[in-house]
Structure 1
């Protein structure tokens, strides 16, 4: 009220001066002062005009009906818009909110107006808003797409993006702000699902190869800055394939989930457990400053993974092999460190599984040699570097050569003769055993047919078959095709398989062996006694012959245990009407022991070393003595 009275008085004074001033100026100009009545009249008119001027000004500044209607419509639009809107004052308190804002968060208007906006945020978002977002808004006048989390009345948290612009008065001070809040909860969930599919293993929930490599790179970079170490453990389950094949993939998947959970419980916060695929897991462990740290950790992992697992009332135990590489000594980049840990893991498997091995320079040299051999072996078949030698198998009763075993050899153009124990395992691992095995079978059958055509009657040719060959879906067709191409009588072909091959999947093995047997192909178990302890499979498999393993023959008759094993094998084979051949016979006392136990066939250096086909042809031409000291020297 006082404000209006002061304005009215000032307007009256201004009006009086406005109307009296011309009269006074005119009198002064004419050097004739105006009469007092004129001045008083002018002042009176001005005093009356002043209030009128004040009233006009008030009316002129008063919103008209259209403006009032527009303001009302604006308020309604603000409140009813399907967008979360709010306004805060300079103290950060809510002065208005839209209906959508209230509906989304579940509050009534009187529960929020006058309260700080940060009161409806999570603790983390509140701290960010108080220290960063609100100061920026009040300083620059705007913020855009600020991520925050708001809390609904019942406690649910939503993800949101906040954009706001501030209103300033004439003095440049913030009066209030208008903000738009976008609920992005569903979008974030979709993004998280996409990220999960891209960076996490769907079966175990562990980081996949992509995320693992990224985390390993970060860990190595941090270790480089801090002068620390990073341990990388490459873990592979032992004989997981047999579990998958015998118990089914569903059980195999459950086992992988159990192992993943066990590994996660073993690691420290900040470490990473990832699944690369199959049964391969990797663990990134930071701050490996002492050599003993990874040793204790690896032993703990083996102990935890090796605990019994029960599925559907069945209990079984799985073990693991672990390779360890440590940054920076064992690799300065991601790919090198992973490769070296992988090498160390395979070395652990070679040492018998269920153990751990550190990467070493010597191991790297062997791995490099192995890689070079693999590369050379791929070219060996094309270049004709591979050839066969044949070792005779003798029937002691007749003194005749009844069969020969075909053995692959490799003459490298630079390294010379490479022994089979070096290149056959590489061929097995890489899958090269399939083309190599097919070449051996075709070459051996063709040579046997050539001997038959040259007048050597009834000579059996024995060929070793690998697990990959035997389990290949086209194995039967390959054998049949080679027999047709070479024209060899199937009755003259004997396929040698190890016990582990036929026992890996018994039902499939019985079917395959039966199919081979109905084609009149002979079947033999090689290295008998070194595989499975159960001998019941001999009753079910259509086996013609068993070969006593060389490791049992080597120390007879001096080793009582080996002698007892050989005697038991001979007795069992006799009761099952199976033929027996002893391999690895190198001395006359071994020959005598086996002959006394009625072992009819033998093979070994005592009789003949493996030899080229041409050398063996000469022996066929001159015949064979009843008990030769040696057929071929060198």
Structure 2
């Protein structure tokens, strides 16, 4: 540096030689000033180069530290571009994405809201980043082998206006934490051995179910299942505990999914039967269900060589007779199970003595039903439909009766739950249609036919693959027309695929049947369903018309439904009419077609002629009086 200064000074001196002696002080001052400036510039250059060297060293250290952080951290760190494409990331993230462990990578970072990878979060994240400059939340990162949940934060980083916006993402894996939380929740609500709901969950659900009971569905039921080993000792009790998961699996197989099964005690399960399954003849259904449970528990297991014989004792309680709250209903069921254990192994007992008297009759009734169905011993009764405006019979409804050899003539509510559960409903529906065709043919020949004959079609029969062919063949064999029949269809048919359902209903319509939606207003049929299917009429649910005399709300509902049906050009029929006031109110609302005991009960076919004669005499007397 001294050599550089000397050379530079000599050069300046040589340049200033031509100057006069008078200018020498000025020249010397300039020379000194120039020398000082150059020295300052050199010092500044040296300082700048040193500063750059220090910054370069720090940057190298930062990059090394950042690389170490990316490779060693258990969390996820990533640098993303504006399209959420990964530019660099931690080793954990790279391994999850199967990316090469290089300093920079370029791969799309797909974040999902669910572990199945169905809902992509990219658009939501981009919107939040554009709006707020950050996004926080839970997201799933997936690959072919695993799926991991992360709690993530993404922030925008924009160093200057020249370079594009980048995003910094960081977060932690919370998959294990989620598993622990789920395990804790499961321990609070599930039995750890059988994985069934525990007694706390059952108690709460039973309370809710009992609170939901109303005038239409007033009852719920509890089945208490008490298990005991064939030989009562500590060894067998331990064996019983080991068999409980397999017993629980057997119960789940035999019980319908709409019932709640829970483990309630060390050696017991409970079943909750909801109100819509506890109708007026629920004892038949519960009886059958109890026998299914007993049979299911005793069916062969996967490893009978190590299993011990287990006895089951069932107690059944029904609200509100056996208890108005959850605690009393459960106590009644448990006491009934104890009584069942005293009566013998693998037994059942109802808490109510009246229901218990019917319990042993279940198997006998089922046997009788099969025999009667095979021999065609069921009979049809016919209830007339009346037009209020004309006071005339405008049609009939065929209603099934069972002339049981032991019990006498039984109406459908006493045996239909058993018929539906055993699958006899399909063969009985077909028996009814064959008998109805023969009856209609006879009425046509004798002049007793009025309007159409209505038939109830079960959902099971409607779903049969050969249903249309059976209906057509039966009509041809009897030589009657489909236009003489109305098919009353349950709302449950709307659970079928729409295209299939529409095609089937159009086929029935083309054959000539009139299609009526039964129990309208009770289920879930919508305006769209009424419009898109070829329905000709609706039949109001009896639960709507039962209280129209006493309840203004029921009157308003009935009037609204009738107006809706009339707007859709659907005929409306009201059933179960018991009083003259019910008939009058419905007539004022616009419902002219009615049936019920107010007009006539269901009668055998040979009494129809007397009804028509009575009707003619009444009309003749009315005409004479008016004349």
TM (norm. structure 1) is 0.47
What TM-score, normalized to structure 2? 0.48
Which entry has the higher C-alpha Rg, 1 or 2?
1
